[in-house]
Each structure stands twice: as structure tokens, then as C-alpha cells.
Chains A and B, each alone.
Chain A
Amino acid sequence: KNQVEQSPQSLIILEGKNCTLQCNYTVSPFSNLRWYKQDTGRGPVSLTIMTFSENTKSNGRYTATLDADTKQSSLHITASQLSDSASYICVVSAASGAGSYQLTFGKGTKLSVIP
């Protein structure tokens, strides 16, 4: 069964500090992996997408990594800001037959950045 596991479940860090969120998946056959940011009271929005051949991708202070061999991804946030407080959700896409793809969602990591 396709699964996406995220850790930690929640995290509190001081403003300005760095942090790393983890995503492990057992989805197969892998197509792509996306990290989403969900601000309080809003729907999640995509931060970055990783395909099989990509190891690292940056989007401002966010850097995502992917190790397709170990089926792990991480999201590193540098010099955190109060506005980074949100839930971060890992979503993995896999072919499900007949040319369609199914997405498997992690439960998310709730990040709180405090002054």
C-alpha cells in the first residue's frame, strides 16, 4: 500500500533558526514528489516539485532534497521567519494504471516559528 510518512509531527523553532522536515514514502512507481505549505485557515499551496532525476531544488529559503534510492525527501528552511509558521505537507505521485496517476498525501508537519 502506498504510504507517505512525515516527521516530526510538529516542530517549534526560534525565528532565524534553520530546520529540516522529513518525508519517507513507499509509493511505487514513483512519478514526482511535492512539498506544500498550508497557512492557517487556507488550503495547501505547492512549494516545490521533485522528479526522479532531481536531488536538490531550491525556492528562496526553502531547499528540497530527494533520495530516490532510499525513498526519502527533506525540506530545509533557512533563516526561518514568523511567516514560515504553517503545516508542510509531502505529496507523492505514482502511476496507478491506464495512464492515470494517484497522489498519496502525508499527514503534514506543523511548524511554529516563535520570536
Chain B
Amino acid sequence: GAGVSQSPSNKVTEKGKDVELRCDPISGHTALYWYRQSLGQGLEFLIYFQGNSAPDKSGLPSDRFSAERTGGSVSTLTIQRTQQEDSAVYLCASSPRTGAEAFFGQGTRLTVV
């Protein structure tokens, strides 16, 4: 596609359920970032993938959070046993190897009730 695509755009889930958020980066972009924005808060780094290198997972807030990137393209962020504080907008961005610019998806708004 022409841009970064995230799905679903909105997700409401019950506390304790698992959720999967998907990110389709721009074709050919080697770098992929996951961030989240809680209500009224700034961007919070979660995880960074670059090519075939080991991902930088230093931003994942707990072991309930995990992410993978299959074939260097699509990425899935999984949150297990969701809690209300997980409610946020989850943003995905991709960039080319040159790091010239990050292109963001529209985000997934996750609401845990």
C-alpha cells in the first residue's frame, strides 16, 4: 500500500482478554517502531525492529506485551491479559534504512473495559 496501515482502527476488549494489533509498514522499509499514547500523555516507546537484527524491546512495559515482525514486513503487537491501564492509542511507524523519515499509521485505539 501507499502508507502504513494499522488494524483494527478501534478495539474494545474486556479486561483479562488478549488482543493483537497489526501493522503493515511501507514496502521496503527496514525499520518499524511501536509507540503508544495514553490519554493526555506523550509518545511512549515500546519496541523497535531494524531488518534482521534483534529488536529493541526496552520499552515494553511488562511481560504481557510482545511483538513480532514476520518476514521483515508485517508486525503484530500482542497484549495478554489486558488491563485498563493498557487503554491507549497504539501507533506504528516505519522508515527506510536511511532513516530519512518516519511514516506513521493512523493508530489503533484500544479501550479495555
Residues of A near any B CB (own CB < 8 A)? 6, 9, 31-32, 34, 36, 38, 42-46, 49, 87, 89, 91, 93-96, 99-103, 105-108, 110
Contacts and interface: CB of A to CB of B under 8 A. Distances in A.
Interface of B: 4, 30-31, 33, 35, 40-45, 48, 50-51, 91, 93, 95, 97-102, 104-107
Contact of A100 (B4, B30, B101): B30
Contact of A102 (B4, B91, B99): B99
Query: Which of the listed residues B31, B42, B93, B97 has the most CB atoms from chain A within 10 Å of its own CB?
Result: B42
Query: Which of the listed residues A36, A100, A107, A108 has the most CB atoms from chain B within 10 Å of its own CB?
Result: A100
A43 B43 contact: no
Given A43-B104, A96-B50, A102-B48, A107 B43 contact: yes
If over half of A's interface residues share one DSSP class (helix, strand or loop), that class is named, otherwise mixed; here it is strand
B42 A31 contact: no
A105 B45 contact: yes
A34 B43 contact: no
A91 B35 CA distance: 13
A103 B48 CA distance: 9
A108 to B, nearest CB: 4
A103 B44 contact: no
A101 B44 contact: no
Given A44-B104, A102-B50, A31 B43 contact: no
Contacts of B93: 43-44, 103
Contacts of A93: 99-100
Contact of B31 (A31, A32, A95, A102): A102
29 contacts: A9-B42, A32-B100, A36-B104, A42-B106, A42-B107, A43-B105, A44-B93, A45-B104, A46-B101, A46-B102, A49-B100, A91-B102, A93-B100, A100-B30, A100-B31, A100-B50, A100-B51, A100-B97, A101-B31, A101-B97, A102-B48, A102-B50, A102-B99, A103-B31, A103-B102, A105-B33, A107-B41, A107-B42, A108-B43
Contacts of A107: 41-44
Contacts of A95: 99
